[in-house]
Amino acid sequence: MRSLVWLFVPAALLAQVNVPYERIRDADKEPGNWLTYSRTYSGQRYSPLDQINAGNVAKLRIAWMRQVNETDTFETSAIAVDGTLFITEPPDAVAALDAATGRELWRYQKELPSDLRLCCGKVNRGVAILGNTLYYASTNAHLIALDARTGSVRWDVTVADHKNGYSSTGAPLAVKDKIITGMAGGEFGVRGFIDAYDAKTGKRVWRFYTIPAKGEPGNETWAGDSWKTGSATTWVTGAYDPETNTVYWGTGNPGPDWNGDVRKGDNLYADSLIALDPDTGAKKWHFQYTPHDVNDWDSTQTPILADGMVQGQPRKMVVLANRNGFYYAVDRVTGKFIAGRPFVKQTWASGLDEAGRPMRLPDSEPTVEGKLIWPSLGGGSNWYSSTFSPNTNLYYVNAKEEAGIYHKGDAEYKPGAPFNGGGQHDYKEEEPYGAVRALEVATGQLRWEYKLHRPSHAGLMATAGGLVFGSNLSSFFALDAQKGDLLWRFETGGNIDANPMTFLTGGKQYLVIPAGHALLVFALD
């Protein structure tokens, strides 16, 4: 009888799915749910749940799994809403699962054209929810609204033409009555943008081009017509500060990636953080991390909004460990640089100046023969999540210590064709390695590190249980958030390229990580 009741409860709740904007804004009031990509708008990927904690994490066991019958990389970050888990699955599917049992409630499969232009497979990082509608951005650059109760399509709009190299891989962000989405295609000479759509109708409300058009401020940072094919894509979900009504969204590399000769100038707003008014799409400020990037150091990873003391004064900051090897703290109200320093080995800049602009060293650009530079094109870190714990006041990053030999090559633009202008060979004289590093949030000063055999390509999550969850190759593990000691590990048997998340259902905390071609869900015995 007990099991019948238990099975019945999620079904009853399912009919009531309703996540108005206020629930997402006030997500800390319901720590058992995970209502948006990073749980809260702050981008912190921090969970206040502490049922799983440093004292008992060693007792974590697999609770259930879900297999995906595809070979593309599984990068989803699930959201959890009142007992239902919503995930994306390769290739271009969305599924609703009963969060306690893993049993499928519905599955939506997007029909895809055969002529997709993708750099990195049919990957997707998750959905947004608003009201009782899910929002999903597909690899053929469509934005799709699904009934969260059944998976039926409410609307499906074209964001951009996939034949010209546009695609979508990131989870949208629901803000008030709009769905904000980025796009991908940075290796195909696209022109980047951030869009907002009316959540009810799918009508586009605004578009912010990440490369200014002729006559607009910033266009002078692109030689000739290079701005038309300058990329600056927006393929990872941003953050939002309701207090200042500002969306923060990172942008990708300028195109062509490794040959800057055809796009002389700073190439605004590539490799930047852009602060936008979500109501209008108007830019409030921008901060460019890597002017005239020639190493493919996208700055698209989710920025983290954190408050801290700087020289005795409280500051509202937006922080991130950038692919270019530097950690940055920027004032999130003004966009002014606060502090920054390398968090991995880097050999391309002598440091950051007072405004936070890197001082590029001579002879540090790709050459036809190849130029050895730290970090590699994979960066000091990459798209996957860093995390911030307000308990420890530390910023945690999965850092990569790895060099690349950068080559400059042809840079001839043809619509829909790769537009790279070179590339990278691995540097094999030193074995690359990784490390989870805990940095002081206001300065980037290293507090501790946990070394990893190889660089990771997976995200971190801090919890109130005093834990930082992370991954390396096929291992999923938990570290002590204060000291970095290893407390638990699990061999998943498949490479991990995703961010962890956690939720509570039926009074029990669960932990989620995609690994290989399966979604793994853990709980205490």
Partner 1 sequence: MAAGTETKVKLPTSRADLLRGEKLFQVHCALCHGPKGVGGRGPMLTRARLKRAPDDATLLKILDEGIRGTEMPGAGVMSDREMRQTAAYVRSLGKVVQKPVPGDVAHGAGIYRAKGCTGCHSVHGEGGVAGPDLSAIGESRSAAYLRESLVNPGAAVPEGYLLVTVTPNGGQSVTGVRVNEDSFSIQLRDSAGRSFSFWKKDLARVDKQSGKSPMPSYQGQLSDTELTDVVAYLASLKEAQ
CB-nearer residue toward partner 1: 366 or 465? 366
| 454 lies in the site for partner 1, by CB under 8 A | yes
Q: How far is the CB of 515 from partner 1 (least distance, A)?
A: 13
Residues 88-107, one symbol each (x = binds partner 1 by CB under 8 A, - = not), give --------------------
> How many residues are given for the chain?
525
DSSP letter at 28 equals: G
Which of 248, 252, 236, 351 shows the shortest CA–CA distance to 306?
248
Residue 98 a catalytic site member: no
Task: Please identify which residue in 181, 424, 463, 509 interacts with partner 1, judged by CB under 8 A.
Answer: 424
DSSP letter for each residue of 395-422 = EEEEEEE--EEEEE------TTS---SE
**Rounded Cα gap, residues 320 and 382, in angstroms:** 11
Size of the site for partner 1 (CB under 8 A): 27
**Residues 57, 496, 424, 379: is their CA dihedral positive or negative?**
negative
Q: Which of 452, 467, 479, 496 binds partner 1 (CB under 8 A)?
A: 452
Q: Find the binding residues for partner 1 in span 458-487 (CB under 8 A).
A: 472-475, 477
| Contact pick of 368, 445, 493, 506 for partner 1 (by CB under 8 A) | 368
3-class secondary structure, 65: strand
Which one among 28, 225, 412, 485 touches partner 1, defined by CB under 8 A? 412
3-state SS, one letter per residue, for 175-207: ECCEEEECCECCCCCCECEEEEEECCCCCEEEE
Question: 111-114 contacts: CB < 8 A, separation 24 or more?
Answer: 112/138, 112/139, 112/140, 113/140, 113/162
447 half-sphere exposure, CB direction, 13 A CA radius? 19
CB of 502 to partner 1, least distance (A): 22
255 forms part of the interface with partner 1 (CB under 8 A): no
| Ramachandran bin of 493, using left for φ above 0, alpha for ψ from -120 to 50, beta for the remaining angles | left
Catalytic residue among 296, 307, 353, 485: 296
Instruction: Report phi then psi at 285, rounded to 5.
Output: -165, 170
How many Cβ atoms sit within 10 Å of the Cβ of residue 187?
Answer: 25
Report the alpha-carbon distance of residue 437 to residue 448 in Å, rounded: 6
Q: Among 423, 444, 455, 500, which residue interacts with partner 1 (rule: CB under 8 A)?
A: 423
Residue span binding partner 1 (CB under 8 A) among the ranges 46-54, 229-237, 382-390, 419-427: 419-427
Query: Among 139, 237, 253, 420, which residue sits at the site for partner 1 (rule: CB under 8 A)?
Result: 420
**How many CA atoms within 13 Å lie on the side-chain side of 494?**
18
Interaction between residue 453 and partner 1 (CB under 8 A): yes
In 10 A of CB 28, how many CB atoms?
A: 11
Smallest distance, Å, CB 483 to partner 1? 16
| Nearer to partner 1 (CB atom), residue 29 or residue 428 | 428
Q: How far apart are CA 162 and CA 137, in angstroms?
A: 12
Residues 19-58 that bind partner 1 (CB under 8 A): none
18-26, 32-40, 76-84, 423-431 -> range binding partner 1 (CB under 8 A): 423-431
CB of residue 429 to partner 1, shortest distance in Å: 9
Binding range to partner 1, per CB under 8 A, among 8-16, 135-143, 300-308, 408-416: 408-416
Q: How far apart are the first and last CA of the chain?
A: 22
Q: Which stretch binds partner 1 (CB under 8 A): 202-210, 240-248, 339-347, 410-418?
A: 410-418
Q: Does residue 253 bind partner 1 (CB under 8 A)?
A: no
* CB closer to partner 1, 140 vs 505: 140
Q: From the list 417, 446, 518, 524, which residue makes contact with partner 1 (rule: CB under 8 A)?
A: 417
Kindly list the catalytic residues. 296
The site for partner 1 (CB under 8 A) is made up of 368-370, 407, 409-412, 417-418, 420-426, 451-454, 472-475, 477, 489
